[in-house]
Structure 1
Amino acid sequence: MVGLESLPATFTARMARGMEVHPRDLYRWRDSGEVVELSRGVFRRADAPEPSHPDLLAVATRAPRAVVCCASAAVVHGLSDEMEPSVQIAVSVAQNAPRISYPPTTVFRFDAETFEFGLSRVEVAPGEFVRIYDSARTVVDLMRLRHRLGEPLAHTVLNRYLERPGNRPAPVLEYARALGVVGPVRSALDIAGAR
Structure 2
Amino acid sequence: MRSKELADAGIHYQTLSRLVEAGKITKVRRGLYQLPESPEPDDLAEAALQVPGGVICLVSALQFHELTLQMPHKTWVAIGESAHQPKITYPPVTFVRFGDQAFSLGIETHDVGGVDVRIFSPAKTVVDCFRYRKQVGLDVALEGLRKAIENGKAKPGEIGDFARKLRIWTVIRPYLEAVAADG
Q: TM-score range by the shorter chain?
A: 0.7 to 0.9
Q: Percent identity?
A: 27
Aligned to 1:115: 103
Residues 41 and 186 from structure 1, CA distance in 2 versus in 1: closer, same or farther, beyond 3 angstroms? same
* SS of match in other structure, 2:100: coil
Mapped contact 2:55–2:79 kept (Cα < 8 A): yes
8 Å Cα contact 1:94/1:112 also seen in 2: no
2:123 corresponds to which of 122, 128, 136:
136
Give the equivalent residue in structure 2 for 1:4.
none
Aligned to 1:88, the other structure's residue is in SS state strand
2:33 is aligned with 1:43 = yes
Alignment of 1:169 with 2:156, yes or no, is yes
* Alpha-carbon spacing, 1:58–1:167, altered in 2? closer, same or farther (3 Å): closer
Change (3 A) 1:33 1:146: farther
The SS at the match of 2:70 is coil
Query: In structure 1, how many angstroms separate the alpha carbons of the residues matched to 2:62 and 2:156?
Result: 16
Q: RMSD over aligned Cα, in angstroms?
A: 2.1
Instruction: Determine the C-alpha separation between the residues in 1 that align with 2:5 and 2:107.
Output: 26
Match of 1:6 in 2: none
Pairs within 5 Å for 1:58-97: 58-97=46-85
1:84-108 CA distance string (max 9 Å, x none): 1111010111311222121000000
Once the two structures are overlaid, the 10-residue window that deviates more, 109-118 or 185-194, is 185-194
CA positional deviation for 1:167: 3.4
Could you say which residue in structure 2 is the equivalent of 1:25? Answer: 18
3-state SS in 1 of match to 2:104: coil
Indicate if the aligned counterparts of 2:123 and 2:155 stay in contact, CA closer than 8 A.
no
Secondary structure class of the residue paired with 1:121: strand
- Distance between the aligned counterparts of 1:118 and 1:135, measured in 2? 8
Q: Distance in 2 between matches of 1:193 and 1:16?
A: 49
1:3 aligned residue: none
**Are 1:12 and 2:5 counterparts?**
no
Alignment counterpart, residue 171 of structure 2, candidates 184, 187, 191? 184
CA distance in 2, matches of 1:55, 1:33: 23
The 3-state SS of whatever aligns with 2:105 is coil
Cα pair 1:86 1:103 within 8 Å, conserved: yes
CA positional deviation for 1:134: 0.4
In the alignment, the residues of structure 2 paired with residue 153 and residue 173 of structure 1 have an alpha-carbon distance, to the nearest angstrom, of: 18
Match of 2:136 among 141, 149, 155: 149
